[in-house]
Structure 1
Amino acid sequence: MLSTRTSPVHRIGLISDTHNLVRPEALRHLQGCDAIVHAGDICDPAVLDALAGIAPVTAVRGNNDVGAWADPLPLHVTLTVQERTILVVHDIADLPAAREALGEPAIDVVVTGHSHKPLIETRDGVLFVNPGSAGPRRFKLPVSAGMLVIEAGRVSATLARLVE
């Protein structure tokens, strides 16, 4: 569970689909974060170790996260920051099952990965963020990561291209 500090602003770095690649550009993007969320397809625990050198990491298991190291990773997790609830799940298709397992709490933000397509969209008052893939480039999709900022209970998100 993410702890809340006394600071009125929380910066949560969002990363997904690293597929065993820790890009220096991703590490630079995440510098200064209060916490990091990895939305799955990590593929090697060394990725989480590298991210933990920057800030506390919360991660979920993606469809490519297999083996004994990945077994303890949850399929979904919720975090509460400044009374805002963030649900993290790798594949958006698993969202209904995750919400059902949680007992339908009020969700303010959903962070996903899997598609490698960066997205920020509000649906029915819920902010959906997919930071895209910070790992190997897939097709012509961008290499990207995101940032979630929570200030005075207000949530905003941005995306950043890590490489051109």
Structure 2
Amino acid sequence: MRIGLVSDTHNLVRPETLDALRGVDHIIHAGDICKHDVLDALASLAPLTVVRGNNDVAEDVAHLPEHVRIELGGITFHVVHDIADVPRKLDGIDVVVTGHSHKPLIEQRGAVLFVNPGSAGPRRFKLPISLAWLEIDEGRIDARIVQLVT
């Protein structure tokens, strides 16, 4: 199972983002969507799980949940926009997906894999434009950052 992880699109759906996500089995968006049109574009590619970010104040996205727990391919995910809002106890969680910082990160912390796909939206400072892929195969998780724009 391939899962596309995206965050901080800030109302920008790049063609490179759509191309990179074609063929994934599920998409997780870790917040800062800004307008619902972004979700419509992503949902046309695969089932979508999404959380609200600090910039998601528009009426069409303000109702989104702050945290989501979801199981995909036998792996349990906790999705939240800001890593500061990750609960201390992560019992039963295999992967934490965050955004907010715009900095891509893949880091194993004990039994939990932390992934921040970076930002697929407007460039911030000199940070890369990126997303992440997660491959799940028989309980094994392989995470990879995909740089979209150089």
| Category of TM-score, reference length = shorter chain | over 0.9
Tell me the distance in 1 between the aligned counterparts of 2:73 and 2:6.
21
Tell me the distance in 1 between the aligned counterparts of 2:147 and 2:74.
29
- Counterpart among 137, 145, 148 of residue 151 in structure 1: 137
Q: CA RMSD in A?
A: 1.1
- Counterpart among 86, 89, 93 of residue 95 in structure 1: 86
Tell me the distance in 2 between the aligned counterparts of 1:75 and 1:41.
11
User: Residue 81 of structure 2 contacts residue 99 of structure 2 at CA under 8 Å; is this kept in 1?
Assistant: yes
The 3-state SS of whatever aligns with 1:42 is: coil
Letter in 2 for 1:78: R
Letter in 2 for 1:139: F
Q: Are residue 142 (structure 1) and residue 128 (structure 2) matched? A: yes
- Counterpart among 83, 101, 109 of residue 95 in structure 2: 109
Shift of 1:153: 1.2
Shift of 1:81: 1.9
Tell me the distance in 1 between the aligned counterparts of 2:84 and 2:43.
28
Shift of 1:60: 0.2
Letter in 1 for 2:113: L
Tell me the distance in 1 between the aligned counterparts of 2:67 and 2:48.
14
Matches for 1:61-80 after TM superposition, within 5 Å: 61-80=52-71
Tell me the distance in 1 between the aligned counterparts of 2:22 and 2:74.
24
User: Which 4+ runs in 1 deviate beyond 6 A?
Assistant: none
The 3-state SS of whatever aligns with 1:49 is: helix
Matches for 1:15-54 after TM superposition, within 5 Å: 15-54=6-45
Name structure 1 gaps, 5 residues minimum. 1-9
Question: Which residue in the other structure is 1:84 paired with?
Answer: 75
TM-score, normalising length: structure 1: 0.88
Shift of 1:82: 3.0
- Counterpart among 123, 131, 136 of residue 117 in structure 2: 131
Letter in 1 for 2:84: A
Identity value in percent: 64
The 3-state SS of whatever aligns with 1:25 is: helix
Tell me the distance in 2 between the aligned counterparts of 1:110 and 1:42.
19
Tell me the distance in 2 between the aligned counterparts of 1:133 and 1:50.
16
